[in-house]
Amino acid sequence: MARTAILIDGGFYRKRIQKLKGDASPRERAKELINYCYSHLENKDGEKVDELYRIFYYDCPPLDKKLLHPLTKKPIDYSTTELYQWTHKFLYEMTRQRKVALRLGFLSESKIEFRFTDTAMKGLFNGTLKFEDLREQDILPDVKQKGVDMKIGVDIASVAYKKQAEKIVLIAGDSDFVPASKLARREGIDFVLDPLWAHINPDLFEHIDGMITKFQKPSK
């Protein structure tokens, strides 16, 4: 059995899993994530073939600022929103899970912009949604996370140099991990990427040892 460390880019995971699986309560989503991580220790027949070292979960506390909404022109206290409450409870649930290490970064407050949700953007482009029909929840603050990528890189290096695991599974959807994956592979780590069926640049294949997503591939 290969001792396996599983690292999760939480911001990517939460957004992607909602698209793949829909909404869930904080407790249900945390349990779902833990079960999914353990599926990475099994072969296609559901037999355990690897041993878990630890699950590392990287995220940021939710936005708790008051901002002027660009559509309604009214101030919103984001510490009172459902998203804030959900994220806060989800992070709490993750701290209660066995063999989980929570790594929190912080939100950049230097430049907070707003963006259309994916559903609103799609509706505007295909004509099923008119601009005058937009609602407050169709436009959300887009806040950049800080410190998360650095923490992921540091932990990959630590696991590799200290020989804490023979295999790393990274659940992420971008290429920021490439320098760390190169280091890990040079140290003999079997480095696997799980992008949850999100599109990744084909050039990334030369920097990983494999790409595996355990969830069934979506039809669209």
First to last CA, the chain: 35
Does pTM surpass 0.85? yes
Q: What is the CATH number of domain 2-62+79-106+146-211?
A: 3.40.50.1010
What phi, psi does 50 have (nearest 5°)?
Answer: -130, 165
Domain ranges of the chain: 2-62+79-106+146-211
Contacts of 154 (CB under 8 A, 6+ apart): none
Question: Best-predicted range by mean pLDDT among 100-104, 121-125, 176-180?
Answer: 100-104
Residue 220: which pLDDT band, with cuts at 50, 70 and 90?
low
Distance CA 167, CA 188 (A): 9
Q: What is the pLDDT of residues 78-89, one digit of tens each?
A: 999 999 999 999
